Amino acid sequence: MPLVKQIGCYTLMLTLTLGSCEVLAQSSSGEPDARPGSICTPTTSSRSEPRTEAEQKERERWAAYREKLQSYLPLLPREPDARLAMPVQGARVREVANTFGAARSGWRTHEGQDIFASRGTPVYSATSGFVWRIGQGELGGLYVFVVGPGGRRYYYAHLERYAPGLKEGQKVTTRTVLGYVGSTGNARTTPPHLHFGVYSGSRRTCDYKVIDPLPLLADRDWRAITVNPARNR
Ligand SMILES: [Zn+2]
């Protein structure tokens, strides 16, 4: 086979492989990990045909989530938040030990910050926005994704339970409780904590970014919130 053709085939194979990795990684974990250093190729609908009915269903589910995400964008400010309100009730920014980028099992690195608190401590949204996804994954356990200004996604994982009545598509503010601190998913053997992740862009458009939330986090006046808590709609 001529060299050019070979390179072409290799690129195609890589694209397809990465494409299905993305689906698998997201569906099994809920935490959208990317293999570091992977080559990005913008994609639209150039994926291989689904091999099983389950794969087809999974793709449809993701397509629906992508569509929903797009539908929230015009309703949100364009500029992402410069500051994020501390999501764990009573926690202080200075108490968060920086573990962003720390090595994890396999090729993964820690794509977020862990905020430790007693089991059942309320977790508030760090931004205003919309509840994009409520789900359960092998790594993240019970998780909630919120999409905020600029299309940034905020990932709240290892929850003990969700806030009662929380729904996908629900509008949230920094006074909305999303759930409660727990140790679900791969945090089973660790003390209860919130895993807080921040993502922007998309692998499809090659501007996907994992953002360290710690420099953006700001303390809040918990007395004002806990004395007069907002009611979830
Ligand atoms: Zn974590």
Map out the domains of the chain with their CATH numbers: 3-227 (2.70.70.10)
Question: What's the gap in Å between 161 CA and the centre of ligand 1?
Answer: 17
- pLDDT of 45 > 80? The answer is no
- pLDDT of 56 > 80? The answer is yes
Residue 29 is predicted with a pLDDT of 37
- pLDDT of 37 > 90? The answer is no
Question: What's the gap in Å between 125 CA and the centre of ligand 1?
Answer: 17
- pLDDT bin (cut points 50, 70, 90) of residue 49 is confident
pLDDT in tens, 171-219: 999 999 999 999 999 999 999 999 999 999 988 889 999 999 999 999 9
Q: Is 201 helix (H, G, I), strand (E, B) or coil?
A: coil
Which is more confidently placed, 22 or 155?
155
Question: What's the gap in Å between 138 CA and the centre of ligand 1?
Answer: 13
Residue 216 is predicted with a pLDDT of 98
Q: In angstroms, how far is CA 13 from the centroid of its own chain?
A: 27
Tokens of 110: 């820690």
Question: What's the gap in Å between 3 CA and the centre of ligand 1?
Answer: 44
Q: How many CA atoms lie within 13 A of 228 on its CB side?
A: 2
Q: How far apart are CA 146 and CA 103, in angstroms?
A: 26
Return the exposure string of 47-60: e unless at least 16 CB atoms fall within 10 Å of the residue's CB, then b: eeeeeeeebeebee
Tokens of 60: 């449809």
Question: What's the gap in Å between 195 CA and the centre of ligand 1?
Answer: 4
Residue 38 is predicted with a pLDDT of 61
Average pLDDT over residues 98-118: 93
pLDDT in tens, 3-23: 444 444 333 333 333 333 332
Is residue 47 within 8 Å of residue 58, measured between CB atoms?
A: no
Question: What's the gap in Å between 215 CA and the centre of ligand 1?
Answer: 16
Residue 42 is predicted with a pLDDT of 72
User: Which residues, listed in sequence order, are joined to residue 157 by a DSSP beta bridge?
Assistant: 195
- pLDDT of 28 > 90? The answer is no
State which H helix or E strand residue 218 sits in. Answer: strand 217-218
Residue 187 is predicted with a pLDDT of 93
Average pLDDT over residues 18-30: 34
Question: What's the gap in Å between 140 CA and the centre of ligand 1?
Answer: 8
Residue 22 is predicted with a pLDDT of 31
Question: What's the gap in Å between 203 CA and the centre of ligand 1?
Answer: 21
Question: What's the gap in Å between 117 CA and the centre of ligand 1?
Answer: 13
Q: Is 106 helix (H, G, I), strand (E, B) or coil?
A: coil
Residue 199 is predicted with a pLDDT of 97
Question: What's the gap in Å between 4 CA and the centre of ligand 1?
Answer: 43
Query: To the nearest whole number, what is the mean pLDDT of the chain?
Result: 84
Q: How far apart are CA 96 and CA 126, in angstroms?
A: 15
